[in-house]
Structure 1
Amino acid sequence: MLTTLQLNWRSPDGRFEKQIIKRGVAGTNKPTERAKCAYLINDTKNKSELIIGFENSDFERNISILLQTMCTGEVSQCKAPHNDNFKLKLVEFQSAGMIYEWPAGVKHNLAQELKTAGNANVKKDEFNEAGYKYRKALKYLLSIPMDVEHPPSVVDGVTIAELTELKVALYNNLALCAFKSREYDRVLRLCEKCLDLDTRNVKATYKIGESHYFLGNYELAMSSFKEVLNREPHNRAAFDYVQMVQGKIKEEKIKYNEIVKKMFR
C-alpha cells in the first residue's frame, strides 16, 4: 500500500491506488472509452500512447484504469496489480465522447474490430486476451438502446439481425475462452445467452454438451449431443462424444449396481 503521500483514490476491489503528486487542470474532463491518451511513466521523456478500451496488454489495461481517474497534467504515485509504486502522468488526451452518444453503427464496427482482434488472439492460444476483447465488444453492443415492447428492425442504419448475429458470435467465442480455462459452469451460462438469441445455434448446443460431459452430467450431455446430431447428422465430433457418454453412463450403472449389492449382503 502507498504510504508516503495522502491516499487520494482506491478502486473498490483495492487492486488500484493512487496518491496525487501534482493535480491536473481543474474542471476538465477525464478520459473515457476510445479516448487517445499520451502519458509518461516514472519521469521518462518519451511519451507512450494508448486508446481506452483498445489496450494490448495487462500492463496497458492497468494504465488505462488509472488514466480514467486523472485530469490532464496530473502526476500520481500509483499501485496496480504486478506494478507497484510507479509514477504516472497524463500528458494529454483526445476525447471520443461518451459511449451513450455513439451511433449504433460506430458501436457495431468497434465490436466487429474487437472480435477480429480477439480471433487473432485465439489462433495464438491467447485466450485471456481474446476474452477481454470479446467482453469489451459485447459491452458496446449491449449499450445500444432498444425498445423492448416494440423493437425496431434497424437502429441507426444497422439491422437488428446484424447486431444479433454479432452478439451470438461473441457469446460463442467467450464460451470457448471459458472452456479453455475449464470454467464449465460459465460456459453453460454464456451458451444459454447465445441460445436466447438463436435457439438453434449448433455451436452453443455442442459446447453445452461438452461442458456437461466434463462436469459429469452425462444425461444432460447426451441430450445436447443428440440435439446436435439431429441438426447435423454427419457431425463426427458430436457422434464421438455420444459414444464416450454412453460408456460413462454404463460405468455409472455398474458402479451403482455394485453399491446396491453391497448394501444387501
Structure 2
Amino acid sequence: MADEFENSRKYNDKKSDEEGDMDVPKDVEEEEIGEHGLKKKIIKEGDGWETPLNGDEVEVHYVGSLLDGTRFDSSFDCEMPFKFKLGLGHVIQGWDDGIKTMKKGEKALLTIPPALAYGESGSPPTIPPNSTLQFEIELLSWTKVKDICKDGGILKTILTEGEGWQTPKDPDEVLVKYEAQLEDGSLVTKSEEVEFIVKDGCFCPALARAVKTMKKGEKSLLTVKPQYAFGENGWEPASGNDGVVPPNTTLQITLELVSWKIVSEVTTDNKVSKKILKEGEGYDRPNDGAIVQVKLIGKLQDGTVFVNKGDNEAPFEFKIDEEQVIDGLDRGVKTMKKGEVAILTIHPEYAFGSNESHQESATVPANSTVNYDVELVSFEKEKDSWELTTPEKIETCGRKKEEGNTIFKKQKYERASKRYEKALSFIEYDSAFSEEEKQQAKVLKISCNLNNAACKLKLRDYKQVVKLCTKVLDADSKNVKALYRRAQAYIQLVDLDLAEMDIKKALEIDPDNRDVKFECKLLKEKVKEYNKKDAQFYGNIFAKMNKLERLSSANGARKQEAGPMTIDSKA
C-alpha cells in the first residue's frame, strides 16, 4: 500500500476543497475491532446491512494522517477513488480488517496501531517508524468476488448478473462462451459457443468449477492461479490462432453461461437419466395412476428410430404404473412437468432387457440402451385420498387390491407390494366412515395386509411379514392365514418357539388345513435339525473338556515321575 500512497501523495501544501477537514463528531462512540488495537469511529452511517467479504473489489475515498494531524496521502489528490481487493494483503492489515466492517456509503475514521500499519520500519519519508495512523475512509461501493475453491485459486467477479437461482451440477450439459488472457492482457484464446458436460470440463479445470457457481446468462471474470489453469506444464495450442500459456501462469478468463440442460438421475442405480431440453410449466407432475399424453420418439444408440408416437397425430396416451410402456419410460415421464421436453436414456434393465424386441420401425437388439425424446403434452392426475368421498375411497382401495393381485400372479412381487400399500392408503384414516363402511374397510385392510405379507415372504423380508401378520391378528385373532404366514417367517428367522405357538393355534382353529400341517411338519424337521446341531455343538464342547482334563491329569503324573529323576541327575 505504501507504493500506492507514494504514487498519489501530495502532502499538506495542496489541499482539495473536496476533502474538507477531518472533523469527527465528538459525541460518536469509538469501537474497537479485533484484539490488536484497531479502532473505528463512524462519521456517517451506511446503507443496508451488507458488508464486503475477503476477495471483494472495494472502491473507497480516503485521507491518511498521522496523530498530529499531518496528512501523508489522499485519494482526492488523484481525483479518483482507490480500488483494491479486500483481504488479500494488497493494503495494510488495518485497512483489510476495518473496511470489512463497513456498509456501502459509510464514512468512518480508522485509528490503526503500528502493528497493523507499517510497524517498526514505517514508510519513509512520510510515515515515521512505529506510527499510529488515522484514515478517514468512505466506502463508495464494492464488487462481489467469490473465492470458488476457498484457497484463492479461482476468484470470480460477476460482470453481469444471471437469472433465477439455479446453477449447473456435474451431470448437466452447459453452453458457454469464454475468453482467456494472460495477466498482461495478451489473448490466449477466444471461443464461440461451446457445449460440454460439467463433470468432463473444458479448456482448463477452472471452467468446470466456476460454471457450477453461475446462473443462466451470468458473465464473470475469473482470476485463475496456475493450479487451476495449466500448472507447471503450461499449454501449447493446437491452432496457430491461439496463444501459448507459459508454465506457472495465472490467467484472466471471461466466462459467460449462455444456457444449460439439466441432467438428473431418475433411478437410484443411475440406469435411467433425464436431460431437460425445455422446461415445463409450474411444479405439478404425474402420480401413479395418472393418464398422460405424450409425443415420443424412441431411438437406438446409433440413432435408429424404432418407435414414433404422437408426432404427426394425436398424442400417445398411457397410464402411469400400469406397465403399458417400458419401466424406464414410465418412471421418466413421472418426473416431468406439463410442456417439458426431455431426452430419457434408459439402460436394458429398465427397457427391453435381454430379449430382442420387435417395435414399429425397427428391432431393438437384446441388452440395448435406448433413448426417448419425450414431450409431456398434458396429464390428468389420479385423485388423492383426500379428494374422494368415503364410498370412492373404499371402491378405489378394492380396485388397487385387485391390481396388486394381478401383478402378484405375474411374479412381480415388489410392484405388487407397493400396490397393496397404495390401496391401504385410501382407507387408512376411517374416522369419517359409517359403521357399514368401517366393516368394509376392515375386510379390505386384512386382505391387503395378508397379500402384502405374501409378497414380503417371496422377497424374504421376514420381519415385515411378522409386522403385517400381527396387524391382521390384532383385527382378527383367529385368522389362520396370518398365523400360517407369520409362522413361516418365524421359522426363517429361527424363532422356533414362536413359530410353534402360531402353528398350534392355527391347527386348533382349522385342524384339517393342509398348508398349516405341512408347516408343522417343516417345523418339526427344523427343531430336529437344530437339536442335532445343538447336540453336536455341546458334544464337541464336552469332548474337548474331557480331553483337556485327561491331558491335565497325564501332565501331573509325568511331573511326579520326572521330579526325583531331575533332582538325582543334578545331584
TM-score range, shorter chain: 0.7 to 0.9
Equivalent residues of 1:33, 1:98 under 8 A apart: no
Q: Distance in 1 between matches of 2:477 and 2:384?
A: 34
Q: Greater Rg, structure 1 or structure 2?
A: 2
Q: 2:279 aligns with which of 13, 20, 23?
A: 23
| Counterpart residue type for residue 38 of structure 1 | Q
Deviations 1:45-85 (A, max 9, x none): 43432234x5226835x444433443322101234563564
| Counterpart residue type for residue 417 of structure 2 | G
CA drift of 1:219 comes to 1.9
Query: Is it true that 1:56 corresponds to 2:323 in the alignment?
Result: yes
Of structures 1 and 2, the one with the larger relative CO (CA 8 A, separation 6+) is 1
Q: Aligned residue for 2:479?
A: 201
| Counterpart residue type for residue 35 of structure 1 | A
Q: Distance in 2 between matches of 1:212 and 1:123?
A: 25
Deviations 1:18-58 (A, max 9, x none): 3321233x447433454321112227243432234x52268
Q: Which has the higher strand share?
A: 2
| Counterpart residue type for residue 275 of structure 2 | Q
Q: Distance in 2 between matches of 1:28 and 1:188?
A: 39
Q: Distance in 1 between matches of 2:282 and 2:407?
A: 40
What TM-score does the superposition give when structure 1 sets the normalisation length?
Answer: 0.79
Any idea what SS the aligned residue of 2:295 has?
Answer: strand
Q: Aligned residue for 2:337?
A: 71
Query: Is it true that 1:214 corresponds to 2:461 in the alignment?
Result: no
| Counterpart residue type for residue 322 of structure 2 | E
Equivalent residues of 1:171, 1:191 under 8 A apart: yes
The percentage of aligned residue pairs carrying the same residue is 26
Equivalent residues of 1:118, 1:134 under 8 A apart: yes
Any idea what SS the aligned residue of 2:427 has?
Answer: helix
Q: 1:8 to 1:259 in 2, by over 3 A?
A: closer
Q: Distance in 2 between matches of 1:114 and 1:189?
A: 21
Any idea what SS the aligned residue of 2:326 has?
Answer: helix
Query: Is it true that 1:89 corresponds to 2:369 in the alignment?
Result: no
Structure 1: gaps (5+ residues) = none
Q: 2:524 aligns with which of 246, 255, 261?
A: 246
Any idea what SS the aligned residue of 1:141 has?
Answer: coil
Q: 1:120 to 1:13 in 2, by over 3 A?
A: closer
Q: Aligned residue for 1:136?
A: 422
Length, aligned pairs only? 254
| Counterpart residue type for residue 20 of structure 1 | I
Q: Which has the higher helix share?
A: 1
CA drift of 1:103 comes to 1.9
Deviations 1:180-218 (A, max 9, x none): 233322322222232233333211110011122233322
| Counterpart residue type for residue 317 of structure 2 | E
Aligned CA RMSD, in angstroms, stands at: 3.1
What TM-score does the superposition give when structure 2 sets the normalisation length?
Answer: 0.40
Q: Distance in 2 between matches of 1:133 and 1:8?
A: 29
Q: Aligned residue for 1:189?
A: 467
Deviations 1:86-113 (A, max 9, x none): 3221012234554422223222212211
